Amino acid sequence: MNSMVTQRSAFMDGRCLDKFQEKPKLLIAGKRHVRVSVVSSSHKPDHSIKVGILGASGLTGGQLIPFIAKHPFMDITLMTAEDEAGQSIESVFPHLVMHDMPDLVAIQDADFSGVDAVFSCLPPGASQEIIKGLPSRLKIVDLSADFTLRDVNDYVEWYGQPQKARELQKEAVYGLTEIHRKKIQSARLVANPGCYPTAILLPLVPLIRANLVTSEHIVIFSNSGVSETVPEIDQELSDAANSKVAVSFISTQKLISQGLVLVIHVQMAPGASVEDLKQHLIEFYEEEFVVPLAGDQAPNTKDVQGSNSCHINVFPDCAPGTAIIVSVIDKLVKGASGQALQNLNLMMGFSENVGLSRVPLPL
């Protein structure tokens, strides 16, 4: 594989209930409208979805809890954490003191009898064995990398350990919501993408599918350390191109809070222009969390911090026929917990935006 990356980001540690749907309202994101469902969470129905969070004391679990606490149709009834078993969640995250949550329990003591859906925020390698033993009736969103690669040989090569839940790996749907929406709706197990694949694939997949950029000479520069998700990126871009794609990945290893900035150099297809790329992204992502910016506005992490948004824009490069795509997200929201909730919303028959109307926070 043509990559320069050897380590994963440190941050990555059914039923249809249409009667809950309410007419969506429109909020402004930049200069575009994003459709979100706005429902009060203060009066949740008695038959709300009961959610379990495995690895709730980690970074992604800590991001999920406030989202679900405010979700109008979901309640957290189970949270696991090995080292903090027996403690309250506010002892780990003091800012959650106002939320009424169950105490943390060890995974071996977890009771799934009253749970409808599970978020697994466990580390890669640990998640697959736990999920393999869960009741088959559960809807599951896995935030590790254990089920993102369809080829088990790729998993062994990149993660240095066997895939111990191969049948589940074949069943898992890749959870890039805006791209695989229909498959996610009927899935039992969704493999949630990490932050790098999310920020890279959201602009590239539509452009490659539309034959506006070539699948060769894709070079990605990151501001935020290294990533082991290159095979995941190659897999999804290869699907979009219907041919083998291998990207080059270069990192400055400069961490910037939760914000992730990716600069992607691409070769445009013969006859395609920067304006063609920009217009296609605008049309493809109408009323989505993905926001192609107008004019020469540069995407900035401060505009997506704490939100489930991805801001992108396309600029001309120095060499003829080439372009630069800039994509920014919040690593722990759109790059992890926010997208995970977006996926579970779809799996449970809700509008995918319910509970995700949080506005960006300043850095």
Query: What residues are annotated to the active site?
Result: 195
Structure tokens at 54: 């495995």
Adjacent-strand bridge partners of 221: 250, 263
Percentages helix, strand, coil for the chain (3-state, rounded to 5) are 30, 20, 50
Strand 290-292 and strand 310-316: pairing? parallel
SS3 146: coil
Q: Where are the beta strands (DSSP E) in the chain?
A: 25-29, 32-36, 49-54, 74-80, 117-120, 139-142, 173-174, 189-191, 219-222, 248-251, 259-267, 290-292, 310-316, 322-330
Alpha-carbon distance 291 to 334, whole Å? 12
Alpha-carbon distance 141 to 248, whole Å? 29
